[in-house]
Structure 1
Amino acid sequence: MTEYFRFPKPNLFWLVFLTVGLILIFGAYLSLRFGAISFSHDQLLVTLKEFGKDSAQQDIIVDLRIPRLLTACLVGASLAVAGLMMQAVTYNRLADSGLLGIQAGAGLSILLLLILNPNSHYLLRLMVGFIGAGLVAGLVIFSSQQNGPGNHPLRILLIGSMATAFLSAVGQGISIYLNQATHYLGLLSGSLTQANWTSLAWLAGPIFLALLFAMFFAKQLTILSLQESLAQGLGLQTKLFLVLFLLLVTVLSAAAVSLAGSLTFIGLIIPNLIRPFFKRDFRYLLPLSALCGACLLVWMDVLARILHPPYELPLNSLTSLIGFPILLFLIRKGDWS
C-alpha cells in the first residue's frame, strides 16, 4: 500500500508545472495575436497599454480575444479535473465526462432551455445543465454497476457512448424540427466563439469554487481511488465522498458546456498523460491537470483559428485527433485501472 502514498519529488512537480505554465503563456500570446484578423507584436502591446481606449483593435482583443482566452483556460481546466475525478471514483482510466454522456446530458438540457428562452440567464443555464448532466451521470454509473462477468471496465464506456449517441440524436432532431440547428451545432461541436465577459462573470465563480473543493479534498480522493474496502478500512466515508466528487464533476461539466459546448477527450487525454509521473497522489494530479487542461484547450483554439483562416475548425475535431489514439492505446494495452 505504501506505493500509493509515495510522494513524487517536489522538484519534478514544479519542473513540470512551470514548463506547462510557460507553454500556456506562449499559447495565450498567440491566441491574442492570431485569428481571422491578426496583429503584430507591437500592435498587441500598444492595444494592451492603451486599455480602455475606443478602437477597432481594442474591440477585437479586449472584448473578444481576452474573454475567449480566459474561457478556454476555465473550460480546459474544468474538463481535465472532471475527467481525473471520474477516473478516480470509477476506478477506470477510460472515464471522461464527454465519453460517458454527461456533457451530452448537459448540452441537451441547455439546448431545450435556449429554445424555450433564448435570453436565459447564465446561472439558469448552469443549473439546468447540472440537472441534465446529473441525471445522465447517475443513469450511466448505475447501469454500469453489475456484479459478475458483465462488470467490465469497458461496460461504462459502452453505456456512456450509447447515451451520448442517443442524446445527440434527440438534440439534433429537436433542433432541426424547430429550426434551431445553430444552437445545436455550437453545443455539439464545441466552440469558444460565444465567449464574452458576461458569461465569464457569472460562471467563473462556480468553476473556481468546484476546483477549490476538489483540491481541498485531494487527500480523500487519493484514498477513494484505492480499492473501496481499503478506503473504508482507512476510515473514509466512501459513499459521502463519492457523492461529493460526482457533484463536483457534474458542476464542472455543466459549466464547461454552458461556456463552450460539448468537448470530448480532454478529460481522457490530460489525466492519462500526467498520471505516469505522479501515480495516485491527487495533491499533485489535480492542480497539474487543471493547468494542463487549460494549456491544451488554449493551443487547440489557436490551431482551430490559424489552420484555415478566416474559418475556424471545430474544437472537437482537434481534440479527437489526440484523444482517440490514446483511447485505442489504453483499450489495447488493457490498462484502465
Structure 2
Amino acid sequence: MSLSKIDMDYTQPDDEQARSFSLRSRPWAAALIMIGGIVALILSIGLSISFGAAEIKFATVWEAIFHYNPDLTQHQIIQELRLPRVLGGAMVGTSFAVAGAIMQGMTRNPLADSGLLGLNAGAGFALALCFSFFPGLPFLYLILYSFLGAGLGAGLVYGIGSMVKGGLTPLRLVLAGAAVSALLSALSEGLALYFRIGQDLAFWYAGGVAGTTWLQLKIMFPWVLVAVVGAIFLSRSITMLSLGDDVAKGLGLRSGTVKLVGAIIVLILAGAAVSVVGAVGFVGLIIPHLTRKLVGVDYRLIIPCSAVLGALLVVFADLAARMVNPPYETPLGALIALIGVPFFLYISRKEVREL
C-alpha cells in the first residue's frame, strides 16, 4: 500500500465522507508551503523586531544582527529583548504545532491538542510547585519539571477517559481534558494564593514571549530540535497509525512502540513550550487541520509544514499583541484563542454530528 495514494482521512471512516474530503497527498503543495512559509517567517521576524513601543528601521535591525554595536541603545534593544522574543515565539509555535499533529495522528482524534488534553495545565501546575517549594530554581530544572507536569496531565486525562464504558472517543477525551485542566489550574491558583507567587505565575496564565531570554533559548533549542527531528523520522509510522491500529499492524507496524516514542516527543515539545510561553492553546489544534487540508494525509508532509506554519502563527500573533493597544501588550494566548475557540466549536460540532 502506498501512503501517497491513501484517500481516507482518519476523521472520516466511511467511503462517502472520505470522498467528500478528498485528501490525497500533495507534495507540490507541501513544497510551496515550506518555501513560502520560510520566506514569510523570515519577513515576519524582521517585522516583529522592527515594530514595537519604539519603532526601529530595517537597516538598523540588519546592522544589530550582523554588526552588533553594544554602545547603541537600539542595538541593545534588538539583541537583548526583541530577537530572543521573536525566536522564542517561532520555537514555541513549532513545538505546539508538531505536538498537535502527532497527537491527532496517533489518536485519530481531530480535537487532540496539548492545551485541550491537559498537557499545558499539567506543565503549569508543575511550574507552580517549583515556584512554591523551590524558588530560584534554574530554568533547566523548570523545563524538566514541565515535562513531568505535562506527563501528569496527559496521564490523568487518558486515565479518566478510559474509565468510561465504551472507551475513549474524541468528545470524551476533550471532556476529560477540560475537567483535568480545570482541576490542575485551580490547584495552581491555590498554590499561588497560599505562597504568594501570583506575580510569578501571572505570565504563564496570560501567555506570552515577552520575557524570553537567550539562556532560555539555549536550553530549549536542543530539546525542540531533537523532538522535531524525531517527529519527522516517526512521520511515516504516524501516517500508518492514522489509518487505524488494525491497518497499522497489518502493515507490520509496532504500534505500541510508535505510540510510546510519539508520546515522549509530545511531552518534550509541550513541556518546553509551556515553560517559556505559558498557557497558550489552540496552536496544535488549528495548524495540523489547516495543513492536512492543504497537503493531504501523509504525515511526512504534515509535520514539517506544521512546524513552519505554527512558527509563523505565533510570530504574527505576538506582533499583533504588541500592535493592538500600544504601548500595552495584549496577552498572546487571548489573541490566538480568538481564532482557536470558533475553530474548536466548528470541529466539535462536526464530531458530535458524526457520533
1:107 lines up with 2:124 in the alignment: yes
Aligned-residue CA RMSD in angstroms?
1.9
- Please name the residue that 1:67 is paired with: 84
Contact 1:28/1:69 (CA < 8 Å) preserved in 2? yes
1:144 lines up with 2:161 in the alignment: yes
- Alignment TM-score, normalising by the size of structure 1: 0.94
SS, match of residue 286 in structure 2: helix
Q: CA deviation at 1:112?
A: 1.4
Q: How does 1:250-269 map to 2 (within 5 A)?
A: 250-269=267-286
Q: CA deviation at 1:2?
A: 5.8
Q: Please give the alpha-carbon distance, in whole angstroms, between the structure 2 residues aligned to 1:336 and 1:263.
A: 29
Q: Please give the alpha-carbon distance, in whole angstroms, between the structure 1 residues aligned to 2:92 and 2:170.
A: 27
- Please name the residue that 2:101 is paired with: 84
- Please name the residue that 1:183 is paired with: 200
- Alignment TM-score, normalising by the size of structure 2: 0.90
Q: Please give the alpha-carbon distance, in whole angstroms, between the structure 1 residues aligned to 2:128 and 2:165.
A: 38
Contact 1:5/1:280 (CA < 8 Å) preserved in 2? no
Q: CA deviation at 1:42?
A: 3.5
Q: Please give the alpha-carbon distance, in whole angstroms, between the structure 1 residues aligned to 2:293 and 2:286.
A: 13
Q: Please give the alpha-carbon distance, in whole angstroms, between the structure 2 residues aligned to 1:212 and 1:60.
A: 32
Match for 1:316: what amino acid?
G
Ranges in structure 1 where 5+ consecutive residues have no aligned partner: none
Equivalent residue in structure 2 for 1:239, among 236, 244, 256: 256
- Please name the residue that 2:10 is paired with: none
Q: Please give the alpha-carbon distance, in whole angstroms, between the structure 2 residues aligned to 1:148 and 1:233.
A: 27
Q: Please give the alpha-carbon distance, in whole angstroms, between the structure 2 residues aligned to 1:87 and 1:146.
A: 21
Contact 1:93/1:336 (CA < 8 Å) preserved in 2? no
Ranges in structure 2 where 5+ consecutive residues have no aligned partner: 7-23
Q: How does 1:282-293 map to 2 (within 5 A)?
A: 282-293=299-310
Task: Sort the Cα spacing of 1:119 and 1:148 in 2 relative to 1 into closer, same or farther, 3 A.
Answer: closer
Aligned residues: 337
- Please name the residue that 2:229 is paired with: 212
Equivalent residue in structure 2 for 1:200, among 211, 217, 228: 217
Q: CA deviation at 1:309?
A: 1.1
Match for 1:22: what amino acid?
V
Equivalent residue in structure 1 for 2:314, among 282, 289, 297: 297
Q: Please give the alpha-carbon distance, in whole angstroms, between the structure 2 residues aligned to 1:25 and 1:70.
A: 11
Q: Please give the alpha-carbon distance, in whole angstroms, between the structure 1 residues aligned to 2:265 and 2:46.
A: 31
Contact 1:5/1:281 (CA < 8 Å) preserved in 2? no
How many percent identity over aligned positions?
A: 36
- Choose 38-47 or 151-160, whichever is displaced more: 38-47
- Please name the residue that 1:124 is paired with: 141
- Please name the residue that 1:170 is paired with: 187
SS, match of residue 217 in structure 1: helix
Q: Please give the alpha-carbon distance, in whole angstroms, between the structure 2 residues aligned to 1:56 and 1:119.
A: 30
Q: Please give the alpha-carbon distance, in whole angstroms, between the structure 2 residues aligned to 1:101 and 1:118.
A: 24
Q: How does 1:24-39 map to 2 (within 5 A)?
A: 24-39=41-56
Match for 2:103: what amino acid?
M
Contact 2:27/2:301 (CA < 8 Å) preserved in 1? no
Contact 1:274/1:289 (CA < 8 Å) preserved in 2? yes
Q: Please give the alpha-carbon distance, in whole angstroms, between the structure 2 residues aligned to 1:245 and 1:126.
A: 19
Equivalent residue in structure 1 for 2:346, among 322, 326, 329: 329
Provide Cα deviations, 1:40-69, integer angstroms capped at 9, x if missing partner.
Answer: 234333433531432211211011111111
- Choose 120-129 or 142-151, whichever is displaced more: 142-151
